[in-house]
Chain A
């Protein structure tokens, strides 16, 4: 796996929001690597900074109040944070594209879906309108939309949520990106539709070979798809390993807690409640001293409350940010 070329290398990314009530360090030193053609999961509870990481890669952080205050995001070896706005715009939708959580509101209601996909194509490729339309219909076909010629001239409100998310995927993939960022793309969908969309993404990844960064709060979503999984907590990566490693031997107490809270259907039914992680995600205005997980951690010691742990490689490719990692 690691012999594949590195596509994205995020180093110590820090994105802060300057609100009236104080500074929110939404992303506070995230490190993340994505190889070409790799499927990477970024998992965490809401507010852990995973969506902000994605928007930072796209350089779409709303400013004000947000600002990328530090770090580097290397893409094909070049730091995206050093690119001009215009250079960045040419990358967005072409080399890196993104799909969002809300398929119902992510498409412009006053343009046909055909127009919206063609726009993405003509923005980045020197082709005329007729070719763009042809390519759009191909893309609609590719993402499994029936009757693409008819659908081309329909408006978003005439489609279901699942269909709209397919349109979003078609739009995102229309320029053959190297990286597709999927920000909770299936969260708002029904479970069956969710499975279909995940299937579709997996199939397209095999066919087209782009790398995918899947952002989700749901470990089950990445379980089958991701090659590597990064667990984020309070704006930092706390554990990073191959999917197999994460599920087989989680080392960070938070990851362990997350895994425990997934119901398992193979187990015998008991009346025991599902184990949940105690407490709540700390308020971004009042980050605890030391390890940010310490107030919720069953293994926390005096050291955890005083010092902040570093991300350490415990096994080849298995990084953990914890003083007292769980033994494998």
Chain B
């Protein structure tokens, strides 16, 4: 097992390098990387020229890559071009907790609803329940998030109003301005209101996928011979499902859960844009379209490395919960 992990970790290095080169190559094609600065009237042209030289934009992209890579090895990811004065790492560090809060809640909500209804759907295959779960799951998976987000916004912020005339739920943002210094519970309740719509939007689509995965995994297990054996020895139906079937059906699901964790950090560009949430997804899109490649690279590398690491973790978890798997 130890040798296996070491071998896998060594195998990650070329993977991460490929990811870096491909992402960097895409950004290096941006025709004018200093567009954001040129747009800013407060920055002098000569300063920009100095920056171009200092950051090597007069060099071909692969030379620039080596420079950037040299910095990365020393822990220096470069300055943010979108937010002059801050380093790219600091800009990402600000967006990270916002996204983790949103996506973490969404992830837990989706699992808490998706997995049970998937199980229910499987053990009652071809029943009315199964059809309803299946249809609703597919609707969630097919719903364009931006459309659903706008619909919810129309409902909760335009149609439904509070007695005071304010929208029932705030249409965007993460915290009511002025409450930054408020007590924990006041802030907690305020934040919760901002989270309702984005969480519903994101969870609806992932509930569907989780329910489908869980259902098919459970169906696969339920028709196995050992389930019949359990019934033949008089195991109550509850335990047949909860003990014998679920334990087996969860093996692929736990792996999938491990593989999905990096998405918590990646954020959701569209939903964050609609609800004006300053998270990773929105920031990365803004950084790359405004040619702030250092910031975009920090974000992309963070996500990609997490994906690669969690791939390994998923395999380790798999070996841990399935006694048949042994790595050597």
Contact = CB atoms under 8 A, between A and B. Distances in A.
Complex: A in contact with B (CB within 8 Å): yes
Contacts of A17: none
Given A64-B126, A157-B323, A157-B324, A107 B233 contact: no
Given A100-B225, A155-B324, A157-B323, A109 B248 contact: yes
Contact of A110 (B231, B232, B235, B248): B248
How many A residues are at the interface, by size bracket?
Answer: 20 to 34
A108 B324 CA distance: 11
B322 interface: yes
A149 to B, nearest CB: 19
Contacts of B251: 110
B75 interface: no
Contacts of A108: 226, 229-230, 244, 247-248
B234 A94 contact: yes
A102 B248 contact: no
B234 A124 contact: yes
A254 to B, nearest CB: 29
A92 B232 contact: yes
B236 interface: yes
Contacts, number: 74
B228 interface: yes
A16 B234 CA distance: 24
A155 B248 CA distance: 14
A97 B251 CA distance: 29
Given A64-B126, A100-B229, A168-B229, A120 B234 contact: yes
Interface in B218-264: 224-226, 228-237, 244, 247-248, 251
Q: Which residue of B229, B230, B237, B322 has the most chain A CB atoms within 10 A of its CB atom?
A: B229
Interface in A108-123: 108-111, 119-120, 123
A109 to B, nearest CB: 6
B324 A92 contact: no
A105 B226 contact: yes
A90 B234 contact: yes
Contacts of B229: 100, 106-108, 168, 171
A111 B126 CA distance: 30
Contact of B232 (A90, A97, A102, A109): A97
Contacts of A120: 233-234
Interface in A45-92: 58, 60, 64, 85, 89-92
B233 A92 contact: yes
Interface residues of B, number: 22
A291 to B, nearest CB: 33
A119 B126 contact: no
Nearest to A58: B232
A187 B147 CA distance: 58
Contacts of A107: 226, 229
A93 interface: yes
Nearest to A105: B225
B231 A123 contact: no
Interface in B245-294: 247-248, 251
A98 interface: yes
B234 A109 contact: no
A171 B321 CA distance: 24
Contact of A89 (B225, B234, B248): B234
A119 B244 CA distance: 11
B322 A92 contact: no
Interface string A149-187: 000000101000000000010011000000000000000
A111 B231 CA distance: 15
Contacts of B322: 109-110
Nearest to A64: B126
Contacts of B233: 92-93, 97, 119-120, 123, 171-172
A124 B233 CA distance: 9
B107 to A, nearest CB: 25
B232 A60 contact: yes
A74 to B, nearest CB: 20
A140 to B, nearest CB: 16
B234 A92 contact: yes
Nearest to B126: A64
Given A97-B232, A97-B233, 19 more contacts: A60-B228, A94-B234, A100-B225, A100-B229, A102-B225, A105-B225, A106-B225, A106-B229, A108-B229, A108-B230, A108-B244, A109-B226, A110-B247, A110-B248, A110-B251, A110-B321, A123-B233, A155-B324, A168-B229
Instruction: State the 10 A-B residue pairs at the shortest beta-carbon distance, nearest first.
Output: A93-B233, A93-B234, A92-B234, A105-B225, A120-B233, A108-B226, A155-B323, A106-B225, A98-B232, A157-B324
Interface of B: 126, 224-226, 228-237, 244, 247-248, 251, 321-324
27 contacts: A90-B234, A92-B231, A92-B232, A92-B233, A93-B232, A93-B234, A94-B234, A97-B232, A97-B233, A98-B232, A100-B229, A102-B225, A105-B226, A106-B225, A106-B228, A107-B226, A107-B229, A108-B230, A108-B244, A108-B247, A109-B324, A110-B248, A110-B323, A123-B235, A155-B323, A155-B324, A157-B323
